[in-house]
Amino acid sequence: GTAQIGVTGLAVMGRNLARNFARNGLTVAVHNRTAAKTRALVEEFGDEGTFVPAESAEEFVAALERPRRLMIMVKAGDPTDAVIQEFAPLLEEGDVIIDGGNAHFADTRRREKELRERGIHFVGVGVSGGEEGALHGPSIMPGGSPKSYESLGPLLERIAAKAPDGARTVAHIGPDGAGHFVKMVHNGIEYADMQLIAEAYHLLRSVAGYSPAQIAETFRTWNTGRLDSYLIEITAEVLAHTDEATGKPFVDVVVDQAEQKGTGRWTVQIALDLGVPVSGIAEAVFARAVSGHAALREASRGLPGPTARPLDAAEAARFADQVEQALYASKIVSYTQGFHQIRAGSDEYGWDVDLGSVAAIWRAGCIIRAAFLDRIRAAFDARHDLPSLLSDKQFAEEIGAAQDDWRAVVATAAVQGVPTPGFSAALSYYDALRAERLPAALTQGQRDFFGAHTYRRTDREGSFHTLWGGDRSEVSGA
Ligand code: NDP
């Protein structure tokens, strides 16, 4: 075979990735369960580069140069297993199967182990940036063995996006499921970012009394500063859009029930297992869930709330500045939490993930791309063992400078009855980390009272139990 890479699964993502490889000078074997899609790809885009169409699995495998690099871009879950089962028997030792779908990292770990035992490299790759990214340059998060990256890395580097400093947005994340894990957390952070932006919008609308068009302008201004990011940019676009049929702001004609495909939920489920407090991501997932409970919301509409107090123009402008501070501070917290989860996953599974390099490959190509990520990269590059993003001097200073406004915004939201689960959870996390003492000491006392769960003391080593039902003397714990 002559093809340097093969792509099977030619729906939007696979087709665009195949075109991206071909446009960058690679010979690409293409295959799809339904062969009509393979033919359509070659007919429509055949002049963009060198494609080798294959109708059968055998033909596809034969088209690949060795060691073979075969990328699967089919529906995640059972279809991915079916396709692996179909191709694995046709492959030889040293060949590489790449799964670019949105697989759960635990599935990737299982598949990698099974295929490793058969001498085949299995590389789970997180691909972010949607169909546009796939075609013009995604952010790519490959897991798998270092050996497989030697053969695959140079090809992925050709199709990845370019960060502002020219670096390609791809790096070997770590063994087995590390790439899909990091992609999962990326999506969780995306949920949190979107929720925080939504809260900022809600406050500007309900408290400051701004119109969607005015808020679009506000976001455009913010996008020239430290909040410069793809999500802020598209938010301004969406808010400025007018519905053609009604002439109303587009955002006012859309049903206010947010849907989800599940990667945010995965992030929170895994965070619970790892014991990592990703409260910002969790609140974002729950906020979508609340929005979707139409009957519950309908039944609750009559509950009493505060009387809104309209702001005058000067107060509204001042409030908008405060919201920018709250948004930025909360964003720092959600990235702090997301990177904590990546570090915890890396420790749990022995991946040795380089957090600076993760931030670096999120700078372009993906949905959460933002100027801010370059500073996160710098923070982790300067200190690999940085305990938390909040321990970085610059971020600590910035959040410190924002805190008064951040508190004012959360307080105003509470007084005016505007839900801000993201801003509030972020602020509580910040204050919990800062606290000299937490009421967890009381929690321990309660646990010892009803369940003899024991506690540790501040002044002596060991574990202790108080005889709550007896004379309340203290004994040594189990
Ligand atoms: P879909 O998830 O809609 O999957 C459709 C493709 O899967 C088709 O090529 C289809 O073949 C194939 N397929 C489904 N079941 C089987 C099966 N049992 N055996 C063989 N082939 C099968 O395609 P997308 O392009 O949207 O996404 C591909 C992957 O990329 C998914 O895992 C998705 O989660 C992930 N992804 C998607 C992003 C996006 O923005 N859409 C972004 C990042 C990742 P056929 O034509 O024969 O039906």
State the number of CA atoms in the 13 A half-sphere of 335 facing the CB: 27
Pocket flag, ligand 1, residue 39 (CB < 6 Å): no
pLDDT confidence bin for 308, thresholds 50/70/90? confident
* Ligand 1 neighbourhood includes 73 CB (under 6 angstroms): yes
Distance 101 CA to ligand 1 centre (A): 7
Helix axes 372-382, 393-416, angle to 10 degrees: 130
349-375 pLDDT, tens digit per residue, is 999 999 999 999 999 999 999 999 999
pLDDT score at 210: 97
Tell how far the Cα of 126 is from the centroid of ligand 1, in angstroms: 14
What mean pLDDT comes out for the span 315-331?
Answer: 98
- Work out the mean pLDDT of the chain and round it to a whole number: 97
Give the ligand 1 atom nearest the CA of 12.
25
Query: What's the pLDDT at 119?
Result: 96
- Residue 199 above 90 pLDDT? yes
pLDDT at 279: 98
Q: Is the pLDDT confidence value at 226 over 80?
A: yes
Nearest CA to ligand 1 atom 21: 33
Q: Report the separation in Å between the CA atom of 380 and the middle of ligand 1, taken as the mean of its atom positions.
A: 35
Q: What is the pLDDT of residue 310?
A: 85
Is the distance from the beta carbon of residue 9 to the nearest atom of ligand 1 less than 6 Å?
yes
**pLDDT number for residue 413:** 97
Specify the pLDDT at position 1: 87
Distance of alpha carbon 84 from alpha carbon 86, whole angstroms: 5
- Other CB atoms within a 10 A radius of the CB of residue 269 amount to 15
- Which of 71, 75, 128 has most ligand 1 atoms within 8 Å of its beta carbon, as the pocket-test mutant? 75
Q: Is the CB of 13 under 6 A from ligand 1?
A: yes
Long-range contacts of 395-404 (CB under 8 A, 24+ apart): 395/332, 395/336, 398/328, 398/329, 398/332, 399/329, 399/332, 399/333, 399/430, 401/325, 402/325, 402/326, 402/328, 402/329, 403/329, 403/430
Q: Is 367 in the pocket of ligand 1 (CB under 6 A)?
A: no
CA of 102 to the centre of ligand 1 (A): 9
- Output the CA 395–ligand 1 centroid distance in Å: 40
Ligand 1 near 14 CB (within 6 A):
yes
Percent of the residues in the chain that have a pLDDT greater than 90, as a whole number = 98
Distance 10 CA to ligand 1 centre (A): 7
Mean pLDDT of 264-280: 98
Of the candidates 353, 344, 361, the one whose C-alpha atom is nearest the C-alpha of residue 384 is 353
Q: How far is the CA of 225 from the centre of ligand 1 (A)?
A: 38
Do residues 362 and 373 touch, judged by C-beta distance below 8 A? Answer: yes
Percentage of the chain modeled with pLDDT above 70: 100
Q: Is the pLDDT of residue 274 over 90?
A: yes
Mutate-to-test residue for ligand 1 from 13, 17, 39, 159, highest number of ligand atoms within 8 A of CB: 13
Q: What is the pLDDT of residues 12-55, one digit of tens each?
A: 999 999 999 999 999 999 999 999 999 999 999 999 999 999 99
Q: What residues are designated binding site for substrate?
A: 102, 128-130, 186-187, 191, 261, 288, 447, 453
Contact between 463 and 476 under an 8 Å Cβ cutoff? The reply is: yes
Nearest atom within ligand 1 for CA of residue 14? 25
> Which is nearest to 309 in space by CA: 299, 319, 301?
319
Q: Is the CB of 34 under 6 A from ligand 1?
A: yes
User: What average pLDDT does this structure show over 159-163?
Assistant: 98
Best of 73, 108, 111, 136 for a ligand 1 pocket test (most atoms within 8 Å of beta carbon)? 73
Is 79's C-beta closer than 6 angstroms to any atom of ligand 1? yes
Taking only the tens place, the pLDDT of each residue in 94-152 is 999 999 999 999 999 999 999 999 999 999 999 999 999 999 999 999 999 999 999 99
Q: Tell me whether 0.95 is exceeded by the ipTM.
A: yes
List, by residue number, the catalytic residues: 183, 190
> Which residue among 20, 74, 102 is best mutated to probe the pocket of ligand 1, counting the most ligand atoms within 8 A of its Cβ?
74
pTM: 0.97
Estimate the crossing angle of helix 313-349 against helix 178-206, to 10 degrees.
Answer: 170
Annotated binding site for NADP(+): 9-14, 32-34, 74-76, 102
CA distance 397 to 392: 9
Pocket flag, ligand 1, residue 33 (CB < 6 Å): yes
**Strands 455-456 and 121-128, bridge-based pairing:** unpaired
Q: How far is CA 245 from the centre of its chain?
A: 35
C-alpha to C-alpha distances, 139 to 108, 132, 352, nearest whole angstrom? 19, 11, 20
Q: Whose Cα sits closest to atom 3 in ligand 1?
A: 75
> For residue range 431-451, what is the model confidence (pLDDT) as tens digits?
999 999 999 999 999 999 999
In ligand 1, the atom with minimum distance to the C-alpha of 101 is 32
pLDDT digit string, tens, across residues 370-415: 999 999 999 999 999 999 999 999 999 999 999 999 999 999 999 9
The CA-atom distances, in angstroms, between 257 and each of 50, 254, 389, 421 are 44, 9, 33, 16
Q: Which atom of ligand 1 is nearest to the CA of 33?
A: 47
Residue 478 has pLDDT above 80, yes or no: no
DSSP code string of 147-213: HHHHHHHHHHHHHS-B-TTS-BSB----STTHHHHHHHHHHHHHHHHHHHHHHHHHHHHHTS---HH
pLDDT digits (tens, 9 = 90+) for 448-471: 999 999 999 999 999 999 999 999
Query: For residue 72, how far is its CA from the centre of ligand 1 (angstroms)?
Result: 9
For residue 309, name the pLDDT band (cuts at 50, 70, 90): confident
